[in-house]
Amino acid sequence: MTLISFGDGEREKTIIEVLKRFYPEIDVYKEIAQLNSETNDQDVTYLKLLEKYIYILLESEKVFTSC
């Protein structure tokens, strides 16, 4: 999974932590449960979650991605 880093160099392990920090109004666990029921595959679930929010995160210029 791609790590998402904050501009201050603090590194987070998952998109869940990033969304909870920058967008606390998003119920990340509800999103995961819904996606998991649709995909029945945890890897695909996280990929879909990342696809859904990556552009919002990048456009906000609060985060950048690294491999």
pLDDT tens per residue across span 20-62: 888 899 999 999 999 999 999 988 888 898 888 888 877 876 6
Alpha carbons 3 and 31: distance in angstroms, whole number: 19
Query: CB neighbours (10 Å) of residue 18?
Result: 22
Q: What angle do CA 17, 18, 23 make, to 5 degrees?
A: 110
pTM: 0.66
